[in-house]
Structure 1
Amino acid sequence: MRHDPSTFVIPTAFWDRPQVVEALTKRDVCAVFRLVHQYAGASQAGIGMRVGMAQSEISKYLNGKRVATEFDVFERVADGLDLPDRARMRFGLAPRTEAGRQAVPLQRSTTEPDVSREDPDSVEEIGQRIDALGTSNVSPAVLAHFDVLISVIADEYEIAGPDALAPRVLKQRRRVQSLLDGRQPPRQRDRLYEIAGRLSGMLGYMAVNTGRFGLARAYCLEALQIVDLLGQRDLAAWVRGTQSLCEYYAGNYQAALEFACEGRRLAAGSGQSIRLAVNGEARALGRLGDRDGVGKAVGEAFKLAERHPVPGDMSPCISFEPYSVARITANAATAYVSLGEPGRVREYADVAAQVADQSPSMWSRCLVRLDLATALLLSESPDPEQAATLGIEALTTAAGNPIESIRRRSRELVTQTQPWRQIGLVTELAEASRALALPPGGSR
């Protein structure tokens, strides 16, 4: 009769060996397999049959060529090797429910009625529960790494662009979701939820910048659902700002205004209010033709910047930190473009350009120049050649990495230059704008 390699027996005391306890606590599947092989005489094939893996996979774990990080792998190992509850909890998993467990009757007393009740806790059982309270599949170092990662993404965003960064952010968002399927103490779990909300919010922002407004709305709703569980008003306000941005570029200016106003209410005067006032309210009001509203929103953004510590340079557009003064002026210029006030556009755009030209923010340099080009066309003495020159310079800078705002503003500039379309530079500007709508090296 052929021997079944999966019939090996793991003694109950095995799970309390110091080496095994250490391996479980570290969630080191490689070490667990190695110790089962060593002390229970299990073969690679036998372990694989028990946990539902091929022998080649078990070999990779034993040789250190594969490391387990997925929650479902931990569950398969725990179930296949029949971990007792104390071992499951050390492994970061919930104990099994023992359905139908009956209370053990006490001995009949001569002075008490015959009653049944559950066994009292032993000191050891209490200790196991205490140990489980601190069990987590997430270390403080992992949480700190996510914070660094989000900061790095914000810094790299205007250099790498959404097409390159979105897959990386999505991978981390899925990683956080996998971690949330595990076990953590409440404070760590709240931190994971916050990280998940930020990553979903960033994915929504990136979707706006690639013109995928439906996807952006879905990501923002996901982020708001997460934030609602946490009660973090500032993060909720940031997401509302991204919803406002989405509707602005989708052409729904009243909705953009309403999202920005709701964000301001949530932010309650915090640093997030700056972005909501100038990028949300002022720009939407500009499209709606509300001159007084734009002036008020821009003025409030500058006043808020005096009350909060803000960056000194051109702050990253996707950052969760408050807007810098330079980014306020750049957005103010755009709001006044919509109102057709070239003097105010130049007033703000000239200030923004001085900072943008010294920063790595390629998109900011491009957008400020597009606003200045538009101002040249709106003035009493239009200069279409200089406007086209500025526009071509801007679009050439962003040609390898355009975003929806640049595409939209370039098309608007081209439309405004049409009275002078016989000028060669204006034709060249139109060609440069059309090229932005094409994927690299081809046509749609």
Structure 2
Amino acid sequence: MGDSDEIKAARRDLGRRLAQLRKAADHTQHSFARLVQYARSSVANTETGHQYPDRAFWARCDAILQTGGVLAEEYDRIAERARQQRRRSAVQSIGTGPWPVAVIHTRPDVGSDDDGSVLWEHEGSIDARRLTLKSCNDNDARLTYLEDEVGRAIADNERFTPAVLVARMRPLRIYVDQLMGGRQHPPQRVRLYSVAAYMSGLLGALALDLGAFRVAHAYAAEAFDLADAAHQPDLQAWARATQSLIAYYTGDYHDALAYAQDGLRRAGTGPHSIRLTINGKARALARLGDRYGVDKAVDYAFNSLSECPSSSQVSASLALGAYCQARTAANAATAYLALGCGTDVTTHLVTAIDAFDAAALRGPQALSRLDLATAYLRADNPEPEQASALALEALTLTADQRYESVNQRARQFLATARPFAQQPQLRQVAELLCDRIRIGVRTPPALPSPS
């Protein structure tokens, strides 16, 4: 059997292996064709060895069938054997062609060594390799589309429910993963990795909103790894800010601080330094009881606002640029609230609540109201009625967007409200929170009478 027959047999074997793996995964040719974005007839012809798709196809098959890359690896081995065969054929054609060998040796583009062996590759092999270099499975139009989708989804965060955004982003993230199994030029590869990093980071934040903490951590870690692989410090800083956010709401305050500090090292004086400082570092330090560190972080964040102004009145929660004045003030208030500094809380929230109301962002509206409500309870002259009204308003605003962050902040409010358990409105807050978290027992969280 000649080399060409061996190559054909190897391709047929690869097709049969695909058929076996597809059947083991309980896919029909029709269903599998939709997943790999090929016609059913193409899948059928590939499995019988009558068609031989490019590497991107086999990489998509590996991703869908979760094979660990065995199909693409076998494709690479067959491709290398085919290249070696073409090179041998090219050398033989030079030695046995219509030209006298002596004439070939005098040509500057075919030279030989002293022993008569050919020094150069055949020009056909070089041309084939050059065409391969110029080919890729992505183009600028597709990458621009994906980048636009990411930007739009980040802007829509807090305007749509987390479930709606997850439904939009998950198919795109899978699609990007399939593209990553193909071939791209280095600049396109960086753009593709960056898109994947932003998508994973956003999905991590959405998982946090829905209370899926393990999934949130996994997505956020993937976002940073992709940013790191792309060698993009600004993107690394953005991913670290998202990891810090998730660690904060899962109660891992030391981790939240560590992620924020590492992100700041990567961000330098760039736009992400504000978010990392105020949303990550200041709030984590407050939970760890470091008043001096919080003061320093808050001062730095506000001083940086003049150097890195936000492009909008209210920046996105996962801002691709600088944090705005309102979000900086709201996060400063949360930090000071954790330290028990009521005056600083109300001062910062005056600015934040007006901006969030104007932007009609329900999540920030609710969080800032709950912070203010808690501050009213901790004042020298507590105002439980006004505090209860603010808490009810916060939970009503987010009735169809049940963010985990709002649920946590509401629980903190109720814990502070225990000395005022006689207030009827506090019972309403507890009942609303009970409904939001969908606990099995329909009785509201306890509000014990003050001792």
State the TM bucket, normalised to the shorter chain.
0.7 to 0.9
Distance 1:426 1:68, change over 3 A: closer
- Deviating more after overlay: 207-216 vs 354-363: 207-216
- Aligned: 1:423 with 2:391: no
Q: How does 1:196-345 map to 2 (within 5 A)?
A: 196-345=196-345
**Correspondence for 1:169:** 169
The aligned counterpart of 2:60 is none
**Among 69, 91, 96, the residue aligned to 2:37:** 69
Distance of 2:431 and 2:53 partners within structure 1: 69
Equivalent residue number for residue 137 of structure 2: 137
CA shift for structure 1 position 219: 1.5
Alpha-carbon deviation of 1:127?
3.5
Deviation of 1:328 (Å): 0.4
Partner of 1:395: 395
Deviations 1:118-149 (A, max 9, x none): 77322x54443333222122221111111110
The one of 96, 99, 105 equivalent to 2:79 is 96
Structure 1 residue 342, shift from structure 2 partner? 1.3
Which deviates further from its counterpart, 250-259 or 368-377?
A: 250-259
Partner of 2:7: none
Q: Deviations over 1:365-422 (max 9, x none)?
A: 1111111101110110001111001100110111111111100000010111111111
Distance 2:426 2:35 in 1: 58
Counterpart Cα distance in 2 of 1:439 and 1:412: 17
2:353 maps to 1:353: yes
Amino acid paired to 1:69: Q
Do the aligned residues in 2 keep the contact of 1:345 with 1:372 (CA within 8 Å)? Answer: yes
Q: Which residue of 2 aligns with 1:16?
A: none
TM-score (norm 1): 0.77
Alpha carbons of structure 1 residues 73 and 243: separation in structure 2 relative to 1, 3 Å: farther
For each residue in 1:317-346, what CA deviation from the matched residue of structure 2 results, as whole angstroms up to 9, or x when unmatched? 123222111110111111111111111111
Residues 240 and 74 of structure 1, relative CA distance in 2, 3 Å threshold: farther
**TM-score normalised by structure 2 residue count:** 0.76
Report the 3-state secondary structure (helix = DSSP H, G, I; strand = E; otherwise coil) of the residue aligned with 1:357: helix
CA contact (8 A) 1:312 1:325 kept: no
* Cα distance change on mapping 1:96 and 1:357 into 2, 3 Å: same
SS at match of 2:159: helix
Deviation larger for 126-135 or 400-409: 126-135
What 5-or-longer segments of structure 1 have no aligned partner? Answer: 1-47
Query: Comparing 124-133 with 106-115, which one deviates more in the overlay?
Result: 106-115
3-state secondary structure, aligned to 1:358: helix
Q: CA deviation at 1:114?
A: 4.9
Distance 2:41 2:381 in 1: 70
Alpha-carbon spacing, 1:98–1:73, altered in 2? closer, same or farther (3 Å): farther
Q: Which residue of 2 aligns with 1:121?
A: 122
Instruction: Give the SS at the match of 1:246.
Output: helix
Would the alpha carbon gap of residues 77 and 149 (structure 1) be closer, same or farther in structure 2, given more than 3 Å must change?
A: farther
Matched residue SS, 1:269 = coil
Check if 1:181 corresponds to 2:181: yes
Retained in 2: the 8 A contact 1:274–1:301? yes
Is contact 2:29-2:43 (8 Å) kept?
Answer: no
Give the Å deviation of 1:84: 9.9
**Higher alpha-carbon deviation: 430-439 or 349-358:** 430-439
Determine the C-alpha separation between the residues in 1 that align with 2:369 and 2:140. Answer: 44
Distance 1:264 1:74 in 2: 50
Matched position secondary structure for 1:375: helix
| CA distance in structure 1 between the partners assigned to 2:172 and 2:53 by the alignment | 32
Cα 1:400–1:84, aligned 2, differ >3 Å: closer, same or farther? closer
Alpha-carbon spacing, 1:144–1:292, altered in 2? closer, same or farther (3 Å): same
Give the whole-Å Cα distance in 1 for the aligned partners of 2:247 and 2:133: 45
Q: Which amino acid aligns with 1:235?
A: L
Task: Report the residue type matching 2:337 in the other structure.
Answer: V
Q: CA deviation at 1:212?
A: 2.1
Q: 2:415, 2:168 → 1: CA distance?
A: 36
Instruction: Tell me the matched-pair count.
Output: 385
Which string of whole-angstrom CA distances, capped at 9 and with x for unpartnered residues, describes residues 31-60 of structure 1? xxxxxxxxxxxxxxxxx99x979xx989xx
Equivalent-residue separation in structure 1 for 2:114 and 2:238 (angstroms): 64
> Alpha carbons of 1:376 and 1:213: their partners in 2 closer, same or farther (altered >3 Å)?
same
When residues 427 and 191 of structure 1 are mapped into structure 2, their CA distance, relative to the original with a 3 A threshold, is same
Separation in structure 2 between the aligned mates of residue 247 and residue 275 of structure 1, nearest angstrom: 15
Over 3 Å counting, the alpha-carbon distance change for 1:157 and 1:262 in structure 2 is same
| Higher alpha-carbon deviation: 258-267 or 220-229 | 220-229
Contact 1:134–1:184 (8 Å) recurs in 2:
no
Deviation of 1:227 after TM superposition, in Å, equals 1.6
Alignment check: 8 A CA contact 2:113 2:119 kept: no
Q: Where in structure 2 are there 5+ consecutive unaligned residues? A: 1-14, 23-27, 58-74, 106-111, 444-451
1:82 positional shift = 4.4
> What is the identity, as a one-letter code, of the residue corresponding to 2:395?
L
1:246-291 CA-to-partner distances (Å, cap 9, x unmatched) read 2211112122112111111111111000000000011111111211
Shift of 1:81: 3.9
SS of equivalent to 1:183? coil
What's the offset of the Cα at 1:98? 2.3
Cα distance in 1 for partners of 2:194, 2:156 equals 21
Secondary structure of 1:242 counterpart: helix
1:366 corresponds in structure 2 to: 366
